[in-house]
Amino acid sequence: MITDEEKKKLIQIAVEARSHAYAPYSQYQVGAALLAASGRIYDGVNVENAAFPVTICAERVAVFKAVSEGEREFLAIAVATVNGGMPCGSCRQVLAEFGLETWVIIANREGRILHEATIGELLPGAFRPQDLPK
């Protein structure tokens, strides 16, 4: 679990990151802030593309930034949108790779929390590294 202070900080960073979203097609700006076990926070935004399916979500940008810096354990992620939209299935799967206990905080653009759960609760029955035969 994380402290209320850490939670507030994550939400604030997600809300601020949202202003960097590249979403000229959907106009649905998403900001994310991921707290690694190291204590470092990685932000992310959605990056859309004229070839629509190439678009990547804010949550995955944050995870990929963190993993490429050597992080493998994540305590929590905050996601900020205009209306508190939930993480898509692909982002849930990417987060689940690194543990089912990561705390997911969904907020709106004012930073109001609309939903909280572990990634395990958001993706029951996730396919995990252990499911691959040795």
Catalytic residue IDs: 59
Cβ proximity to ligand THU: between 3 and 27 the closer is: 27
> Looking at 25-33, 63-71, 108-116, 119-127, which segment touches ligand THU (CB under 6 A)?
25-33
Beta carbons of 32 and 81 less than 8 angstroms apart: no
Q: Does 94 interact with ligand THU (rule: CB under 6 A)?
A: no
Cβ proximity to ligand THU: between 90 and 110 the closer is: 90
Q: For ligand THU, which residue of 10, 75, 78, 91 counts as binding (CB under 6 A)?
A: 91
Q: Does 43 interact with ligand THU (rule: CB under 6 A)?
A: no
Helices assigned H by DSSP within the chain? 4-17, 58-68, 89-96, 119-122
| Residue 5 half-sphere exposure toward CB, CA atoms < 13 A | 0
Residues of this chain, 67-86, that bind ligand THU according to CB under 6 A: 85
Alpha carbons 74 and 66: distance in angstroms, whole number: 9
> How many residues of this chain interact with ligand THU, rule: CB under 6 A?
14
Alpha carbons 33 and 102: distance in angstroms, whole number: 12
Q: For ligand THU, which residue of 11, 33, 41, 57 counts as binding (CB under 6 A)?
A: 57
Instruction: State in Å, rounded, how far the first CA of the chain is from the last one.
Output: 32
